[in-house]
Amino acid sequence: MSEHSTVRMRDDSRTSVVNADCRCWDIPNLWICDGSVFPTVGGVNPSLTIQAIACRTADRIEALAARGELSCGPR
């Protein structure tokens, strides 16, 4: 079973799970940054691309935290 291409990424919350920053539309502090956001998988191992997406997402989270734009919500 492949976990690739199971989480749609788009600019419209009605037709996708995450936005361009890999942030979930329905759960604001959930980011999905793995191969599931790929629209398709090429013929090679996607490990480096997955790592790049994870690093890019971490940078986005860090920037939001620095600006105080992350909600902590109830615990």
Q: Is residue 44 part of a domain?
A: yes
| 33-64: b (≥16 Cβ within 10 Å) or e | bbbbbbeeeeeeeeeeebeebeeebeebbeeb
pLDDT (0 to 100) of residue 1: 44
Q: What is residue 72's predicted lDDT score, i.e. its pLDDT?
A: 67
In a domain, 75, yes or no: no
53 belongs to a structural domain: yes
Band the pLDDT of 2: cuts 50, 70, 90: low
Q: Is residue 29 part of a domain?
A: yes
For the chain, how many structural domains are there in total? 1
**Mean pLDDT score, 13-18:** 94
pLDDT digits (tens, 9 = 90+) for 23-60: 999 998 899 999 899 888 777 788 898 999 999 999 99
Distances (CA, A) of 64 to 14, 36, 40, 48, 49: 24, 23, 29, 24, 23
Q: Give the range of the structural domain holding residue 43, as residue numbers without chain letter.
A: 1-70
